[in-house]
Amino acid sequence: MSTLPPCPKCNSEYTYEDGAQLICPECAHEWSANGDADEASDVKVYKDSAGTVLNDGDTITVIKDLKIKGTSLVVKVGTKVKNIRLCDGDHDIDCKIDGIGPMKLKSEFVRKV
């Protein structure tokens, strides 16, 4: 019996080898058999509409009028938002907009200042 490492996501011991990849049958996670070489590729990079990398704490501006569902409020073009937080999901920026309150924005509608 071979000694393959357990799955890094779910710690399942039932991993198997498929070419140069290791696969977990329980959570379907795939990773390289050579170890930490591609652990850095699992980190998600968030980019704005111009392709600039965004980080937590950045200041951004809105590049398009954004209607807010359920209200008559609109986030206008050029609205500056300070101290953003990046999060996973469909809307990947968590922020607080003056006059409106806490919001989630998509990175495709903003530009880094």
Taking a C-beta distance cutoff of 8 angstroms, is the pair 53, 46 a contact? Answer: yes
For 110, other C-beta atoms within 10 Å of its C-beta total: 25
Best CATH choice for the domain 1-39 from the list 2.20.25.10, 2.60.40.1220, 3.30.390.50, 3.30.70.1380: 2.20.25.10
Q: Which CATH code for domain 59-112?
A: 2.30.30.40
Domain with CATH 2.20.25.10 in the chain: 1-39
C-alpha pair distances (Å), 77 with each of 13, 41, 44, 58, 111:
52, 34, 27, 18, 11
Q: What is the per-residue pLDDT across 91-113, written as a single tens digit (0 to 9) for each?
A: 999 999 999 999 999 999 999 99
Q: What is the per-residue pLDDT across 6-44, written as a single tens digit (0 to 9) for each?
A: 888 888 888 998 888 899 998 888 888 776 544 545 678
Query: Which one-letter DSSP state was computed for residue 39?
Result: S
What predicted TM-score, i.e. pTM, was given to this entire model? Answer: 0.63
d(C-alpha 51, C-alpha 24), whole Å: 34
Domain with CATH 2.30.30.40 in the chain: 59-112
